[in-house]
Structure 1
Amino acid sequence: MLKSVYKLLKYGFPCVLQLIDPYWTVAPVLIGHFYRLHSDKTSLDNARQSVCLGLLWIWSLRLTHSYLRREKWEIGAREDWRYADMRARYGKHWWWISFFAVYVVQHAMLVGISLPLYSVHASKQPWNALWDSVACAGCLLGIGVAAVADTQLHNFVTANEQRRAAGKLPVLLLNTGLWRYSRHPNYFGEQLWWWSLGVFAVNVGQPWALAGALFNSLCMVGVTNLTEARMLARPERAALFKEYQRRTSVWVPWFKSQEQE
């Protein structure tokens, strides 16, 4: 019995990792509706609850579309480079390391970032015209920034694929559009979305629900470092990217100072 469980984890878990991204795009919606179904029935007319669920659906549809477009409309067909690197680094031990470092952490993050939804659905406080509107605007702005950044990245990758197919050299660095002002504008958009969703929890007197957004941001620091290390690993792009690092904000889009130009 234990041997069967071991084999299932060792050989089945890599397949689960392939599906963690599409799973991530829908899990918060399921959690949000769970809280809605188990909320106090007398508070179901609360506008804040309906707005949060509506925003959650917009976020989910946006991220799902971005994932499917990136993967050429196939689910789990391509292995994430981070997991491939992990397997190469840790060899035969990679499956259990990734189980805790990726799978368990991902689920802790999903629960954490969904805490504002619990707070909202446990509250009977009416809509706050100022601060709930601010939270809503922040959520929409975060979704919009991430959508634009992902589209610009997708167009950049597609154009490079076409250049290679035509026998031309690819462009080594995306530094136009939002990527001119931030090295990771898509990450910034996601963080703005989750922190803005947390503001709804603050508005009902439960700031502790921001813990999930903080945990998510800390994890994104690690993801950002991995991504930039990969960019620097290619010799033909290393010097160009180092200059890009020097001149460009990491997350928050920011204008370059005059002396940097």
Structure 2
Amino acid sequence: MDLVPLISIALGLSLLMTMAWAVQRVTGSSGWIDAIWSIAVGLGGIAAAVWPDIGAVDERRIVVGLLVTIWAIRLGGHIAARTHGAHDDPRYAKLMQEWGKDGPRNLFLFLQIQAAAAFVLVLAVRLAAINPHASLAITDVIGVALLITAIVGEGVADAQLRRFGKTHKGAVCDTGLWAWSRHPNYFFEWLAWVAWAVIAFDPGNLWSLVAAAAPALMYYLLVYASGIPPLEAHMLASRGDRFRAYQRRVSPFFPLPPKTPAPQTTHQGDPS
């Protein structure tokens, strides 16, 4: 595998996350960090798909580039719209409070770690783009179906939460997809990276297995690190017993039938 495009993309991701750090310092709103990260992964994925170091830019590369573009525009656009005019992201705000005077320096280093994580994801897109299958394989069909499902599912979850928040201020969203998973948007985001690993898979190429690092990393980040733990800590602090009841009733990540019916008199939910 040619290292020139990978090194170039890694440097570009680092630069974009440095820009995200600068935007946070100027605006004081850390919500823009995740929006810029999404666009950075999208741009890195496009570059990874069409970088012409191995053969011509064929149909596979074009399709991969288009799919990662759609993913990035939807997710980045959603986060940017949510961030505009909103309060600071509670996860980053808590980190900055804990870091104290070292906040700016630690945030910069933290965002460079995010750039490294983005590179792992972009590598999966690269492997999907240079998969040597001469024709459409069953893994391509399955992977594209999973990716479309993930993009649509995450969009539906975000829309349901947004509509709920407009009419149930300070409540916990437990309707629609949110009745089956406390974080359906996170689940579908993870599913998207499962899809890229499936598209990249080639039985004759051991390198293709490296793409499995993308969903593995995303699962760890969402379930154990920067996703569910800090968000649910914020929800417990702001919603208390209402959110504890929601936790007891609804699966944290994978969509599953709720253990008991939701109360009919109040809605108790999640603002992500």
TM-score (norm 2): 0.77
Answer yes or no: is 1:227 the counterpart of 2:237.
Answer: no
- CA positional deviation for 1:120: 2.8
Among candidates 213, 217, 223, match of residue 211 of structure 1: 213
Following superposition, the deviation at residue 225 of structure 1 comes to 0.7
Superposition RMSD in Å: 2.5
Work out which of the residue numbers 65, 82, 86 in structure 1 matches 2:95.
86
Q: How far is 1:124 from its partner?
A: 2.9
- 1:134 to 1:23, Cα distance in 2 relative to 1, 3 A: same
1:139-163 deviation per Cα after TM superposition (whole angstroms, max 9, x unaligned): 0011111101111111122224xxx
CA contact (8 A) 1:43 1:124 kept: no
Name the aligned partner's letter for residue 106 of structure 2: I
The question of whether the paired residues in 2 share the 8 Å contact of 1:135 and 1:200 is answered with: yes
Change (3 A) 1:173 1:133: same
Query: When the two structures are aligned, how many residues end up with a matched partner?
Result: 235
| Cα separation, 2, equivalents of 1:12 and 1:129 | 44
Q: Tell whether 2:68 aligns with 1:56.
A: yes
The whole-number CA distance in structure 2 between the counterparts of 1:35 and 1:12 is 25
Corresponding residue number in structure 2 for 1:165 = none
Residue identity in the other structure for 1:30: L
Q: Distance in 2 between matches of 1:71 and 1:14?
A: 12
Alpha-carbon distance in 2 for matches of 1:182, 1:157: 17
Residue in structure 2 matching 1:15, options 8, 25, 29: 25
Structure 1-normalised TM-score?
0.80
Aligned residues of 1:142 and 1:192 also touching (Cα < 8 A) = yes
SS in structure 1 of the partner of residue 47 of structure 2: helix
- Which is worse superposed, 63-72 or 186-195? 63-72
Contact 1:112 1:213 in 2 (8 A): no
Residue 122 of structure 2 corresponds to: 114
Post-superposition offset of 1:37: 4.0
Distance of aligned partners of 1:99 and 1:180 in 2 relative to their CA distance in 1, 3 Å threshold: same
Which residues of structure 1 form unaligned runs of 5+? Answer: 1-7, 161-169
- Of 40, 47, 52, 1:27 maps to 40
With over 3 angstroms needed to count, the CA separation of the structure-2 counterparts of 1:12 and 1:50, relative to structure 1, is closer
Correspondences of 1:135-214 after superposition (within 5 Å) = 135-160=143-168, 170=169, 172-203=171-202, 205=205, 206-214=208-216
- Equivalent pairs: percent with the same residue? 30
8 Å CA contact 1:185, 1:253 repeated in 2: yes
CA gap of 1:50–1:249, structure 2 versus 1, over 3 A, is same
Please state how far the C-alpha of 1:44 moved relative to its aligned partner: 2.3
Structure 1 residue 108 displacement after superposition: 0.9
Q: Kindly indicate whether the alpha-carbon contact (under 8 Å) linking 1:182 and 1:249 is maintained by their aligned counterparts in 2.
A: yes
For CA contacts below 8 A with separation 6 or more, give which structure has more relative contact order. 1
User: How far did residue 227 of structure 1 move?
Assistant: 0.6
Query: Which residue among 27, 38, 63 is the counterpart of 2:51?
Result: 38
Over 3 Å counting, the alpha-carbon distance change for 1:33 and 1:14 in structure 2 is closer
- Give the drift of 1:13: 7.5
> Which has the larger displacement, 218-227 or 12-21?
12-21
- Shift in Å, 1:192: 0.5
Distance, in Å, in 2 between the alignment partners of 1:71 and 1:97 is 22
Q: Higher mean Cα deviation, 83-92 or 114-123?
A: 114-123
Q: Deviations over 1:183-219 (max 9, x none)?
A: 0001011110111112111236311122133122211
Sort the Cα spacing of 1:18 and 1:239 in 2 relative to 1 into closer, same or farther, 3 A: closer
Query: Contact 2:180/2:250 (CA < 8 Å) preserved in 1?
Result: yes
**Could you tell me how far apart the structure 2 residues matched to 1:249 and 1:62 are?**
25
Gaps of 5+ in 2: 1-17, 262-272
Larger Cα Rg: Structure 1 or Structure 2? 1
> Could you say what secondary structure the match of 2:258 adopts?
coil
* d(CA) in 2 for partners of 1:68, 1:31: 19
Q: Is the 8 A contact 1:135 1:196 kept in 2?
A: yes
